[in-house]
């Protein structure tokens, strides 16, 4: 037999229930969506500054409904671990360098590592801001990753404790590289001995002599203080280092549509900032290295750079079957690169 409930008590109970449900749902509505954005470089780098800008812009455009937490300097994860963390959903966003995607099985990304494939940022942007770049980002989907944008860093310089003028000067040097088979082939083509190391371990490896030298855009070299442990730097601009900004696909697809739209807009704005900062910072970093007086900066003559190019362009053919002939030819077409015309 059920007990009769007195109507005023019932009404009060329902009111309390409704009020607490309203409270709970407004608390839910107010709790921001957290995006953990992990990266391996310093805060005052092009990527570091662009990530901070994205956090600010995302908060503005979503009116605080999204909070981007930026973790710089390999604070959370080193190179290899950050990819795993993204796939597992422990972080939601990364911007690894393009050289770091091949270990996921997307070897086509190593096309960006080919020496001398881009003459300048103009050439590069034809790819990163065009259909070839977009189709490369699409290849990440099968790995549970959505590519949102490309962010520039810059063209690389070589450094070591001996002058690097002629091709022969690289012979026998242990050179730190990122985890890319193309970069491995590049160093071997110069007679150097490539060694893959996480970015966070590079300064110490140079300091202790585990490796003799490395390649970097100036902004990375300077902000990691590598110039303090490298006596010579050669402005070879022989290759490019840039980033793909990526998110965990499941997380991204699960966001409310209006939030995704706002974040996409924030990404467009941040990409512009990233690219402007990269251009400026790399110029300034070289000047700062020079001003430090710790590293001698050498700019190869046209003839020396041509010889370096001649030694390195065969890497394209050597790596074509790994990268995929199709993507290689698509980039040659965009940039009018003809390896036979050397």
Is 99:180 a contact under the CB 8 Å cutoff?
yes
Contacts of residue 20, Cβ cutoff 8 Å, sequence gap at least 6: none
**95 or 308: whose CB is closer to ligand LMR?**
95
- Least distance from C-beta 133 to ligand LMR, angstroms? 18
Is 195:176 a contact under the CB 8 Å cutoff?
yes
Tokens of 56: 């600010």
Q: How far is CA 319 from CA 158, 186, 202, 313, in A?
A: 21, 10, 26, 10
**178 or 270: whose CB is closer to ligand LMR?**
178
- CA–CA gap between residue 157 and residue 37 (Å, rounded): 28
DSSP one-letter code for 176: E
**97 or 128: whose CB is closer to ligand LMR?**
97
Contacts of residue 219, Cβ cutoff 8 Å, sequence gap at least 6: 45, 46, 153, 154, 278, 281, 282, 285
List contacts with ligand LMR (CB under 6 A): 40-41, 47, 97, 153, 178, 199, 220
**41 or 145: whose CB is closer to ligand LMR?**
41
**220 or 275: whose CB is closer to ligand LMR?**
220
- Least distance from C-beta 104 to ligand LMR, angstroms? 15
User: Whose structure tokens read 């790819």?
Assistant: 127
Is 297:235 a contact under the CB 8 Å cutoff?
yes
Which regions of the chain does DSSP assign to beta strands (E)? Answer: 33-38, 66-71, 93-94, 145-155, 157-160, 174-177, 193-196, 213-216, 232-234, 240-248, 296-298
- CA–CA gap between residue 241 and residue 114 (Å, rounded): 10
- Least distance from C-beta 216 to ligand LMR, angstroms? 6
- Least distance from C-beta 41 to ligand LMR, angstroms? 5
- Least distance from C-beta 181 to ligand LMR, angstroms? 15
**242 or 300: whose CB is closer to ligand LMR?**
242
- Least distance from C-beta 64 to ligand LMR, angstroms? 29
- Least distance from C-beta 15 to ligand LMR, angstroms? 56
Tokens of 319: 């790596």
- Least distance from C-beta 214 to ligand LMR, angstroms? 8
**41 or 102: whose CB is closer to ligand LMR?**
41
**65 or 176: whose CB is closer to ligand LMR?**
176
**123 or 201: whose CB is closer to ligand LMR?**
201
Count of beta carbons in the 10 Å neighbourhood of residue 287: 12
Radius of gyration of the chain (CA): 24
- CA–CA gap between residue 55 and residue 197 (Å, rounded): 29
């Amino acid at each position: 037999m059920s007990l009769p409930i007195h109507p005023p008590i019932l009404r009060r109970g329902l009111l309390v229930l409704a009020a607490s449900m309203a409270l709970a749902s407004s608390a839910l509505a107010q709790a921001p969506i957290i995006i953990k954005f992990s990266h391996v470089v310093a805060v005052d780098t092009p990527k570091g500054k662009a990530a901070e800008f994205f956090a600010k812009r995302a908060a503005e455009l979503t009116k605080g409904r999204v909070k981007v937490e930026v973790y710089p300097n390999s604070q959370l994860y080193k190179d290899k671990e950050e990819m795993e963390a993204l796939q597992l959903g422990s972080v939601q966003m990364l911007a690894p360098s393009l050289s770091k995607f091949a270990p996921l099985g997307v070897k086509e990304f190593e096309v960006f590592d080919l020496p001398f494939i881009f003459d300048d940022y103009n050439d590069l942007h034809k790819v990163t801001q065009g259909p070839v770049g977009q189709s490369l980002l699409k290849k990440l989907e099968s790995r549970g990753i959505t590519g949102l944008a490309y962010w520039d860093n810059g063209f690389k310089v070589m450094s070591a404790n001996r002058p690097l003028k002629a091709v022969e000067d690289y012979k026998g040097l242990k050179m730190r590289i990122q985890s890319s088979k193309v970069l491995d082939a590049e160093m071997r083509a110069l007679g150097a001995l490539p060694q893959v190391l996480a970015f966070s371990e590079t300064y110490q490896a140079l300091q202790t002599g585990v490796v003799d030298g490395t390649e970097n855009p100036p902004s990375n070299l300077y902000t990691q203080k590598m110039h303090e442990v490298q006596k010579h730097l050669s402005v070879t601009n022989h290759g490019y280092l840039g980033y793909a900004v990526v998110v965990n696909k499941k997380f991204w697809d699960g966001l409310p549509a209006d939030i995704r739209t706002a974040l996409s807009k924030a990404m467009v704005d941040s990409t512009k900032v990233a690219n402007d900062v990269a251009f400026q910072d790399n110029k300034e970093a070289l000047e700062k290295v020079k001003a430090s007086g710790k590293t001698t900066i050498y700019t190869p003559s046209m003839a020396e750079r041509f010889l370096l190019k001649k030694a390195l362009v065969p890497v394209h053919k050597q790596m074509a079957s790994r990268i995929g002939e199709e993507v290689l030819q698509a980039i040659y077409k965009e940039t009018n690169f003809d390896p036979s015309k050397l």
